[in-house]
Amino acid sequence: MTSIAFIGLGNMGGPMAANLVKAGHSVQGFDLVPASREAAAAEGVASAASAVEAVAGAEIVVTMLPAGKHVRAVWAEIVPAAEPGALLVDCSTIDVESARAAHELAAGRGLKSLDAPVSGGTVGAKGATLTFMVGGAEDAFRAGEPVLARMGRRVVHCGGAGAGQAAKICNNMILGITMIGISEAFVLGEKLGLSHQALFDVASTSSGSCWALTTHCPVPGPVPASAANHGYKPGFATDLMLKDLTLSQEAARSAGATTPLGARAAELYRTFQEGGHGGEDYSAIVTYLRGLAS
Ligand code: NAD
């Protein structure tokens, strides 16, 4: 049994902390929102009165927060309060620069740290089937891997500090660009009189096949579980896709990479979100592209 502090008990953090309890660990949690603390307490997560209180006695500290500014603020509080020898793991999706700043804070006190963003959404968080993309030193990875494995199905060590966040935003940039490509193909197919099923049957078994098409097909019919058959209820919300595409473009700018399709995908998703669709699944972008024709 490991003593774990879990800070940020929202849609993802709540069920992740609950899975650590189910795995037999002692978990002490904190969230600013009392309702999140209460929901986690019902799953066996002991409620702390503050982030600093939560980390007292913890061998591993996990944070699951909205954005880089929250991680920087919380880590500034908890690093000085953490036990000597503790491992700090941030699972939020944040900018690479903030992730590296968090690692530096921990290193300043001689603490091990990992950035370990996830893929798999709330379904993966509940079912402990997340994929963790991990950045940090080898010894920190060895210390964190067994605990991350209780919250997910795959734990990949991507490299040094920030490499987990880098892998996450590169992967999601592929996903955003791909979904727009798939959606454009269906919209063109509609104009050419092609049925959704015919295009799906060909593309899913030909060179156009990819995970987004076969899992998140943006038109109703071919993939019964896809959001298109359920009123585009997320799934993976447009707001989160836009967040990740925006992070990819910030990273591209600061690293001096040119990502013209990533930039265009971010623009299209931003326009879609500004039209009031941020809460719809990211595959609903097909409805926006269809509308451009008229
Ligand atoms: P959420 O908003 O549901 O949860 C974040 C929690 O952090 C909230 O409960 C909030 O009260 C808490 N919080 C904020 N500041 C705090 C502070 N100073 N101290 C303590 N608690 C604080 O968000 P979420 O959906 O759980 O996402 C968390 C992270 O995971 C985000 O970075 C998101 O991009 C990433 N992510 C989300 C999904 C998803 O499908 N929801 C998928 C992959 C990655």
Q: How many other CB atoms are found less than 10 A from the CB of residue 220? A: 15
Q: What's the pLDDT at 245?
A: 98
The number of the ligand 1 atom at minimal distance from the alpha carbon of 36 is 9
Asked whether 121 lines ligand 1 (CB < 6 A), one says yes
Asked whether 64 lines ligand 1 (CB < 6 A), one says yes
Residue 209 CB partners (closer than 8 Å, separation 6+): 203
pTM of this structure: 0.94
Query: Which of 9, 12, 131, 172 to probe ligand 1 with, by most ligand atoms within 8 A of CB?
Result: 12
Question: Which active-site residues does the annotation give?
Answer: 168
Distance of alpha carbon 234 from its chain centroid, rounded? 14
The number of the ligand 1 atom at minimal distance from the alpha carbon of 12 is 26
In angstroms, the Cα distances linking 91 to 27, 72, 99, 154, 213 are 16, 13, 10, 14, 27
Asked whether 118 lines ligand 1 (CB < 6 A), one says yes
Q: What's the pLDDT at 294?
A: 62
Asked whether 78 lines ligand 1 (CB < 6 A), one says no
Q: Look at strands 152-159 and 26-30 and give their pairing.
A: unpaired
Tokens describing residue 59: 């061998």
Choose among 155, 31, 7: nearest CA to 88. Answer: 7
Asked whether 113 lines ligand 1 (CB < 6 A), one says no
Distance CA 104, CA 110 (A): 10
Q: What's the pLDDT at 293?
A: 76
Residue ID of nearest Cα to ligand 1 atom 40: 121
Query: Do 116 and 140 meet the contact criterion of CB atoms below 8 Å apart?
Result: no
Query: Do 30 and 45 meet the contact criterion of CB atoms below 8 Å apart?
Result: no
Query: Do 164 and 114 meet the contact criterion of CB atoms below 8 Å apart?
Result: yes
Query: Do 118 and 154 meet the contact criterion of CB atoms below 8 Å apart?
Result: no
Chunked in runs of 10, what are the mean pLDDT values of the chain (294 residues)?
A: 97 97 98 97 98 98 97 98 98 97 98 97 94 98 98 98 98 98 98 98 98 97 97 95 98 97 98 98 98 82
